[in-house]
Amino acid sequence: MGSGDAVPDSWRAVLEPVLETPAARRLGGFVRAEEAAGKIVYPPRGERLAALDLTPLDAVRVVILGQDPYHGAGQAHGLSFSVQDGVKVPPSLSNIYKELAADLGLARPDHGNLTKWARQGVLLLNSSLTVEDGKPASHAGKGWEAITDAVVAAVAAKDEPCVFMLWGNHARKKAMSVPGLGRGSRHLILTAPHPSPLSAHSGWFGSGHFGKANAFLASQGRGTIDWSL
């Protein structure tokens, strides 16, 4: 994972078993070897576990699953769908903002940094937590999935009801294989097509996930998320 990417205390107990497996050690060796070979890996060291740093396990109220980090310079900083301040808002995030406006009447932000959501208990988790510059999904299947599956399972095992926003087939398959997220779950499972321009018009727009999430959280005595940015 790289130096500066220590597992935060709140997640250590649930992740230590998987981090001690040979597969996890191979992942660490793979990433280090890629960097040693001169390849650029995003996000930079120290930011790869930002989702876990900013959203402790006991604080999680909503989970939004992405696939892998943005693969352009300066974009990825460890939160799914989010980009650093000063970086152009990517198309999928632009569509998220359009749905926020339609759903909750929120003004379009002038930036793409979703840290404010993460600090309120929105776990912005990608399936893979690193990627090579310019090569989407280049680190898929290298071992991250077991780690992020364990993160999703830990949230699913919480006593407090949470909201899982599953956008696109990849997120839906990843989450729905986890015990506690099937039929009869105490959690709210919201599914829709991915907000990518390729699929947003197939049911992402009009899904109303943000309002539905807040209504559910309020009904469970868990407050609401301020989705404005």
The catalytic residue positions are 68
Angle between helix axes 144-156 and 22-36 (nearest 10 degrees) is: 130
Reply yes or no: is the peptide bond before residue 43 cis, omega within 30 of 0. Answer: yes
* 137 backbone dihedrals φ, ψ, rounded to 5°: 65, 15
Phi, psi of 190 (to 5 degrees): -110, 125
Q: Is 85 exposed, middle or buried, given 0-12, 13-18 or 19+ CB atoms closer than 10 A?
A: exposed
- Residue type at position 198: L
Measured CA to CA, the distance from residue 30 to residue 84 in angstroms comes to 26
The CA distance from 70 to 77, in Å, is: 9
